[in-house]
Structure 1
């Protein structure tokens, strides 16, 4: 696995105290700390957050198209039920945060950390995950449809009843993850790394009976 690049934050970030106006097509916020705020749901295009720390914020139920999050950190945040289309997340970290029900469509996530988070019902469609670390997190009942997983690291991740359709797991280490009820097929599971305890379970997943 390639070494993940951390967010580039080399200077002190001043607090963002203005109202967040999201009724225009474009929004850009950079080099700020946003703390203890609720961002109202919105539908925006070309929304750009560059070098922003979100602390204890609620940012949910929004639709963002052709948007970018670069060098951002989300700490103790609720980032649920958002829809991101044709968007990029680069060098971002989600720590002790909620991503439940968030949808990524035709997007790219690169150099991402998801640690101590919940992401149940997360939906990823035709999206590239490149150099992504998921640690001690819950991604139960997540859906992965025609995704590209490149250097995806899973450490103690729950994937109960998750569904990988037309998404290759080659090179992905599942050995420390919970995969009960996971849906995949023999082609997509080829090359994945599993524990000996998971072998029988995996045979059942792909329709092989073990006596």
Structure 2
């Protein structure tokens, strides 16, 4: 699936830490580049972060809720266990990031790429994902409960034990991903209707029904 890439300004401010930038710009971050910064205990609501690049940055015990991220790249960043509840992500790239336990609940994702990310037990509950690619990501135990998935592609992802309760998987292709132990409300519900799986994956899903299969 072709996504619209982040629109990054040619010249970015790159000589300040994020706390100074936030104080200087009244809590808006526009056209900044942050490298190898340790961002700790940042608690902000309603931020506007536009045309920024974060490289090798660590976010520790941060809460950035109900904020808007537009045209932003996160490269090799650690956002594990931080709270991003209710945020909007538009033309965003997460490349080789750690997203273990990250709270993306009630978020809106549009033209967003997750590539090579470690997102075990990340939480996307009640989020809306439109034009989103997740490729070569480890999402074991991730929660996508009660989500809206529109033009979402999983490529070579580990989705073992991921939760898709009350989420329609129509049009989702799992054929090159690992899905043993995925959770849906019920296998005879409409959630899996229209999803694409391999014959082997179909057998795994059948075993979840308690069906004994003879070779």
- Tell me, yes or no, whether TM beats 0.5: yes
The 1:46/1:176 distance shift into structure 2, 3 A limit, reads same
Is 1:20–2:19 an aligned residue pair? Answer: yes
Distance in 2 between the 1:127 and 1:200 partners?
30
- Equivalences for residues 174-193 of structure 1 within 5 A: 174-184=174-184, 185-186=186-187, 187-193=190-196
Task: Map 1:77-92; keep pairs closer than 5 Å.
Answer: 77-92=77-92
CA distance in 2, matches of 1:207, 1:166: 21
Quote the RMSD (CA, aligned, Å). 1.7
Is the CA contact (8 Å cut-off) linking 1:125 and 1:145 kept in structure 2?
yes
Larger mean Cα displacement after TM superposition, 59-68 or 149-158: 59-68
More strand by share: 1
Cross-structure match for 2:124? 124
Alpha-carbon contact 2:17-2:34 (below 8 Å) kept: no
Deviations 1:171-191 (A, max 9, x none): 010000000111113321111
- 1:209 offset after TM fit, Å? 4.1
2:31–2:52: 8 Å Cα contact kept in structure 1?
yes
Q: 1:158 to 1:39 in 2, by over 3 A?
A: same
The residue aligned with 2:202 is 199
The answer on whether the counterparts of 1:183 and 1:205 sit within 8 Å (CA) in structure 2 is: no
1:56 is matched with 56
Q: Within 5 Å, which residues of 2 pair with 1:35-184?
A: 35-184=35-184
In 2, distance between residues paired with 1:47 and 1:196?
Answer: 46
Q: Deviations over 1:150-186 (max 9, x none)?
A: 1111110001111111011110100000001111133
Structure 2 unmatched ranges of 5 or more: none
Moved more, 128-137 or 36-45: 36-45
- How does the TM-score come out when normalised to structure 2? 0.90
